[in-house]
Amino acid sequence: MAKVKSQYSCQECGYVSPKWMGKCPSCLKWNTMVEEVTSPNPNVQSLQLSHSSIPQLIVDIKVEDEPRINTNIGELNRVLGGGIVPGSLILVGGDPGIGKSTLLLQSSQSIANQGYKVLYVSGEESVKQIKRRAERLSINSEHLYILTENQLNHIEKQIQQVNPQVAIIDSIQTMYNSEISSGPGSVAQVRECTARLMRIAKSSGIAIIIVGHVTKQGELAGPRLLEHMVDTVLYFEGERHHTYRILRSVKNRFGSTNEIGIFEMKEVGLVEVSNPSELFLSQRPIGVAGSSVVASMEGTRPVLVEIQALLSPTSFVTPRRMATGLDQQRVALIMAVLEKRLGMFLQNQDAYVNVAGGVKLAETGIDLSIAVSIASSFRDKATGPFDVFIGEIGLTGEVRGISRVEQRVLEAKKLGFKRVIIPEKNLKGWNIPNGIKVIGVQTVADALDIAFGG
């Protein structure tokens, strides 16, 4: 009989140690090491995809475009790259109560209405609880199967019997494999259950969507290996005090990783937002200092959002620098450029910068709008109500070029803006549309002169 051994695994990052430690040396988190019983001959069946794989010349491999499964939810299709690929493994993460189960239940209804079989497996809710939520969302389909189970062996048998085109596992932290002695949610269980689901998806061609819990830092709970094993990783995010939700792709083997889908949470469930720019600018104040509009690219979609800044004299030795929806270090860098290159004395000012609506922006093309908002609040002068500012700022105060300028300008024109201030480098190589004025600038000083001087 094989000797049973024990090891300690970090529940945050998956680091393995032969003895217990209070602090994980990998992720530096405290009290995350949990004992797991292992066998010297682990079961590698779950990682085995095929028994007859042989090397093939790449020139001899024939590739055919498989038809994707249309979810009939445009925003979800956009993030997935056009629909669900058969045989793919998709991981969806998000804060508790953000709407992950609602989104997947609604997409299950849309897929089932097309004649596809969908199996929804829940390890957290009973069948009656799911039925009540389905009635509230007006979900009722003859091709949608509900299963309440967290034992993976039984789930695999039901998948073989039902033979669905799409299977949803909610959530992976509640599933357990009886061959693993660790409890549900442990690193070993999450890793082995995901590997087994991956084998099922690849061998049978069934698209499997698994729901993953997130940590307090907003990252997927469990080892990072989990994200490497799946084909697509989606994050469902949003503020609890706002009704909209953003579905963001951070990994996608079948599409772009920069796409976002925007939904609004209503009593009937999640509703698609076809024009997010109009939503984010619906409550924008006119003629108020510290506000500017930027056209940010989220994948292939331009989104117009408002950036707000508030500067006030500080009562502390070190002024406060706070940013919501933006990289705080990037905001500090832009403020340093304004101090050094334009002579703005900001060392005695607390600075608060916010993206209105709660959306998060990461691209550098929003730098110029941040600088204009900060300068507007510092000078107490409002920018033009129909101006849009786009551009990246360098440390010498220059405004650097951006990508997809034509799509950004067209989106600004569609929403009624009259002027767009962009880097001078981006003036060439495309046709400026009629009805909107496009101004090129070389430095931040030039942009501020235009913003406040006419």
Domain ranges of the chain: 5-38, 70-274, 279-453
List the chain residues with pLDDT less than 70: 1-4, 38-53, 216-219, 221-224, 239-241, 454
Of 422, 429, 191, give the one whose Cα is nearest residue 294. 422
Domain 70-274 has CATH 3.20.20.80: no
* CB proximity list for 57: less than 8 A, separation 6 or greater: none
Q: In what order do the strands lie in the sheet with 321-324?
A: 321-324, 349-355, 301-313, 291-298, 387-389, 419-423, 437-441
Of 418, 419, 437, 293, give the one whose Cα is nearest residue 365. 293
Report which secondary-structure segment, H or E, holds 109: helix 100-112
**CATH placement of domain 279-453:** 3.30.230.10
Instruction: Using the CB atoms, write b or e for 54-69: b if 16+ within 10 Å.
Output: eeeeeeeeeeeeeebb
Q: Is 94 annotated as a binding residue?
A: yes
Q: How far apart are CA 258 and CA 357, in angstroms?
A: 20
Q: Is 97 annotated as a binding residue?
A: yes
Q: Is 101 annotated as a binding residue?
A: yes
Q: How far apart are CA 443 and CA 392, in angstroms?
A: 10
Instruction: Say what the pLDDT of residue 49 is.
Output: 46
Q: Quick one: how far is CA 207 from the chain centroid?
A: 20
Instruction: Say what the pLDDT of residue 341 is.
Output: 93
Q: What percent of the chain has pLDDT over 90?
A: 58
Of 219, 136, 410, 429, give the one whose Cα is nearest residue 300. 410
Q: Which residue type, as a one-letter code, is found at position 86? A: P
Q: Is 231 annotated as a binding residue?
A: no
Instruction: Say what the pLDDT of residue 62 is.
Output: 83
Looking up tokens 């129909």 gives 386
Contacts 24+ apart (CB under 8 A), 274-283: 274/74, 276/301, 276/303, 277/302, 277/303, 277/304, 277/305, 277/411, 277/415, 278/415, 279/244, 279/357, 280/304, 280/305, 280/306, 280/356, 280/357, 280/359, 281/305, 281/306, 281/415, 283/356
Report which secondary-structure segment, H or E, holds 452: helix 444-453
Cite the DSSP H helix spans in 138-291.
152-162, 187-204, 225-229, 276-280
The pairing of beta strand 419-423 with beta strand 387-389: parallel
* CB proximity list for 323: less than 8 A, separation 6 or greater: 330, 331, 352, 353, 354
Instruction: Say what the pLDDT of residue 353 is.
Output: 97
Instruction: Say what the pLDDT of residue 298 is.
Output: 82
Beta bridge partners of 389: 421
Instruction: Say what the pLDDT of residue 186 is.
Output: 79
CA distances from 92 to 100, 213, 230, 271, 404 (A): 7, 9, 10, 18, 29
Instruction: Say what the pLDDT of residue 86 is.
Output: 93
Instruction: Indicate if 279-453 has the same CATH topology as 70-274.
Output: no
The pairing of beta strand 392-393 with beta strand 399-400: antiparallel
Instruction: Say what the pLDDT of residue 307 is.
Output: 96
Q: Is 98 annotated as a binding residue?
A: yes
Coil vs helix vs strand at 158: helix
Instruction: Tell me the pLDDT tens digit for each residue of 306-357.
Output: 999 999 999 888 899 999 999 999 999 999 999 999 999 999 999 999 998 7
Q: How far apart are CA 120 and CA 209, in angstroms?
A: 9
